[in-house]
Structure formats: structure tokens, C-alpha cells
Amino acid sequence: MMVRARRPLVAGNWKMNGLRSSAAELSRIIQGAKELGAVDLMLCPPATLIALFAAAVAGSAVRIGAQDCHAEPSGAFTGDLSAEMLRDAGASAIIVGHSERRIHHNETDADVRAKALAARRAGLCAIICVGETHGERENGRALAVVERQLDGSVPDGATAENLVVAYEPVWAIGSGLTPTPADVAEMHGLIRERLQSRFAKEGQATRILYGGSVKPSNAKELMGVAEVDGALVGGASLKADEFLAIADAYR
Ligand code: PGA
């Protein structure tokens, strides 16, 4: 068996999907998690379900995360949720800077960095997303774009505890398309280099996930790429059997 430097993490991002009745899917994930090998499982449901799901996973190996937060701890920000509130509801991590937030809510690298710091302030791990558009890859700018996003979005003082990076090419999200293993290796290698040069040993220990159209059929290949420490899964995480089959790539 291959010995890994970092414990893999497979995280599911439910986006704006899920009702209280979806707890049945979570129960299947909790059950299935018992059969898995050495891999961390996390589910990031919509905020309305965090408290319910956090109660359901208590005592299991599954963790619950949030999909976004406001940078401030409290205040007059109608409709927003702070990292402290998400922690209070039972989240142990927060996805920040997902491309859907960057695109639909105009979030900049500075916004994402502030949100990552908010997660840290609340004692939570920030899962910071970066990734190029199709046009940027076509123009040969993918590496430069991701390097800029990474440098701008990841706050100083990051550790393997308070940071996970997710490389998610925008064009691969929900499209069924994925980069070649060589392209994933090149990007994850660059991300590792940047993390190591900024955070030394902590940068070496920080997990870097791949995200974008991860499915049971391609999980083994993508998860087998150097410097890929797990997956951030959208669509396929809505079905317990698909999500578990992806995590099973680490058996
Ligand atoms: P997908 O989404 O797996 O549905 O492509 C991934 C993501 O947006 O995190």
C-alpha cells in the first residue's frame, strides 16, 4: 500500500441543494464512512442544514462544513452569516472563494482572504478555491492566474490545520470535462511550491484538493496524481453511493 504524506480529504459541496429530507442521504454517507480506509470525509450542505447535519454526524468520522461566510463576526449585514455563527451551528470548515461566489457575487482575492481570516478567527479551517477559466487556459495563462489567486487569497500564517486549497478549473465544474492528469500535476505542483515557499513545513503538510467533475469513474486517476490530496465534489456528492465511491479511490 502506498504511504501518503497527508491524510486525504474528500469533501462534498451540495451548493444550493438539499432539504431536511436529504438527511437520509447523509445517513447513508455516515454508514458508508465506516467501511472506508484512511480518508477524511466532509459534507458542506446549505447553511439551513448545518445544525441538523452536525447533530447527525456526532460520533461519526464525517465532518460538516459551510459554503461561504461574511468576513465580520457580527453586525448589520442582512442575510449574511459569520464564521462564528457557522461554527456555533456545528461547522468545522468553510469553503471560501468558490468560483460561483467569485463569479455571481464578484468576490475578489482580497474578499476571499478576509473570509479565510474570518474562518481562522472562529477556529475553523478555510477551504480556499482557485482555478482558471477556459479562456485563461486556452491563452496559456492558467498557471499565472492560479498563482495570482493563491497569493492574493491565502492569508499569511496559514497552517495545515487552518487551510485546505482546492484547485477547481472553472471550465471543469459541472461540465463533465476534466484536465489531463499531466495538467493537474503541473498545477498542483505549482500550488505546493507556493505553499512551501510561504509556509515551509506547514505548506508541505497542507492538503490540496482537486475539484471539477470528479466522479466515481475518474476518481482513481485524478486522486492518483502527485500532490492531489483529495477531492472537492459537487454534483456527485448529492448521491451517497457516488460520493462514497469517489472516497473509495483511497482504499
Ligand atoms: P462538480 O462541482 O463536481 O459538480 O463539477 C465541483 C465544485 O463546484 O466544487
Q: What number does CATH give the domain 9-16+40-71+78-250?
A: 3.20.20.70
Pairwise CA distance, residues 54 & 70, whole Å? 20
Q: Measured from the CA of 95, which atom of ligand 1 is nearest?
A: 9
Domain boundaries along the sequence of the chain: 9-16+40-71+78-250
**Contact call for residues 154 and 198 (beta carbons, < 8 A):** yes
CA–CA separation, 97 vs 104, rounded Å? 11
Task: Give the amino acid at 121.
Answer: R
Mean pLDDT of all residues belonging to the chain: 97
> How far is C-alpha 247 from the geometric centre of its chain's CA atoms?
14
Which residues form the catalytic set? 98, 168
Q: Which whole-number Å values give the CA distances from 210 to 24, 70, 137, 239, in the listed order?
A: 27, 25, 16, 19
Q: What is the 174 CA–ligand 1 centroid distance (Å)?
A: 5
Centre of ligand 1 to C-alpha 216, Å, is 13
For the whole model, what pTM was predicted? 0.97
Q: Which residue has the cell 500535476?
A: 185
What pLDDT score does 37 carry? 79
Query: Which ligand 1 atom sits nearest the alpha carbon of residue 166?
Result: 9
Per-residue pLDDT at 173 exceeds 90: yes
Place of cell 471550465: 171
Residue 173 CA: nearest ligand 1 atom is: 5
Q: What is the pLDDT of residue 114?
A: 98
What are the pLDDT digits (tens) for 189-226? 999 999 999 999 999 999 999 999 999 999 999 999 99
76 Cα: distance to centroid of ligand 1 (angstroms): 32
| Site to substitute for ligand 1 among 95, 215, 233, 242, most atoms within 8 A of C-beta | 233
| pLDDT band at residue 4 under the 50/70/90 scheme | low
Residue 181 scores a pLDDT above 90:
yes
Cβ-count burial 78-111 (b if 16+ within 10 Å, e if not): eeebbbbbbbebbbbbbbbbbbbbbeeeebebeb
C-alpha span between 101 and 19 (Å, rounded): 21
Best residue among 214, 217, 246 to mutate for probing ligand 1, ranked by most atoms within 8 Å of CB: 214
Q: Are 112 and 158 in contact (CB under 8 A)?
A: no
Atom 3, ligand 1: residue with shortest CA distance: 234
| CA–CA dist 105, 249 (Å, integer) | 34
How large is the average pLDDT for residues 38-42?
95
**Are the C-beta atoms of 214 and 169 separated by less than 8 Å?**
no
For the CA of 172, the closest atom of ligand 1 is 5
Helices H / strands E in the chain, number of each: 10, 8
C-alpha cell at 171: 471550465
Q: Whose CA is nearest to atom 9 of ligand 1?
A: 234
3-state SS class at 2? coil
